[in-house]
């Protein structure tokens, strides 16, 4: 119940107030970090995010880097916090400027262990998806990352 109330309040804060709260809670320049997490079968981990827009609730594990935290470790931490799974970070696959004072970094990551335990404050559901069978409601930039990052990996590089 509390999670639903927090989610509803967050959705009502859309726009400048929501971004101001995020800015105050993080370093002056925020870095969003995304993990393209794959299992041994080449499937990608997708999460149904509670706090994301209703028309695009599905996406990759994502979060903000803490001050002084290496971005590869942000991927490891966020995946563990949101899902209980352990990953090994791989190469940087995308680095772009984002909305307002934000940069966005995306890394490949490989599942190494753990037991799926969703953080109910942030995540409603999770699943492993083949790149040719992605769910409706997947954020477009994450679809591009999944299709642009080869499961065989190693050749992607930063874009």
Q: What is the CATH number of the domain that holds 96?
A: 3.90.79.10
Residue 39 has pLDDT above 80, yes or no: yes
- The tally of domains found in the chain comes to 1
Q: Cα torsion for 6, 55, 66, 77, to the nearest 10°?
A: 90
State the residue for tokens 């903000």: 64
Q: Is residue 144 part of a domain?
A: yes
Q: Is residue 153 part of a domain?
A: no
User: What are 114's strand-pairing partners?
Assistant: 85
Question: Rounded CA gap, 11 and 52, in Å?
Answer: 8
Q: Higher confidence at residue 24 or residue 111? A: 111
State the residue for tokens 């563990």: 80
Q: Higher confidence at residue 109 or residue 98? A: 109
Q: Higher confidence at residue 26 or residue 73? A: 73
Mean pLDDT of 33-62: 93
| pTM metric for this prediction | 0.75
pLDDT-derived band at 154 (thresholds 50, 70, 90) equals very low
Q: Is residue 132 part of a domain?
A: yes
Q: Is residue 67 part of a domain?
A: yes
Q: Is residue 159 part of a domain?
A: no
Q: Is residue 86 part of a domain?
A: yes
State residue 119's pLDDT score.
Answer: 92
Q: Which domain holds residue 38?
A: 2-148
**Cβ atoms within 10 A of the Cβ of 79, count?**
25
């Amino acid at each position: 119940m509390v999670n639903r109330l927090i989610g509803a309040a967050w959705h009502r804060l859309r726009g400048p107030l929501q971004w101001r709260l995020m800015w105050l809670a993080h370093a002056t320049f925020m870095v969003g970090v995304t993990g393209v997490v794959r299992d041994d079968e080449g499937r990608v981990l997708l999460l149904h995010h509670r706090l994301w827009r209703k028309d695009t609730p599905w996406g990759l594990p994502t979060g903000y880097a803490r001050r002084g935290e290496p971005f590869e470790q942000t991927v490891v931490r966020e995946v563990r916090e949101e899902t209980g799974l352990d990953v090994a970070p791989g190469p940087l696959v995308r680095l772009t400027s984002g909305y307002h004072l934000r940069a966005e970094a995306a890394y490949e990551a490989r599942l190494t262990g753990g037991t799926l335990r969703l953080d109910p404050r942030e995540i409603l559901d999770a699943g492993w998806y083949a790149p040719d069978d992605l769910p409706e409601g997947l954020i477009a930039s994450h679809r591009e990352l999944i299709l642009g990052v080869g499961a065989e990996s190693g050749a992607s590089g930063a874009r």
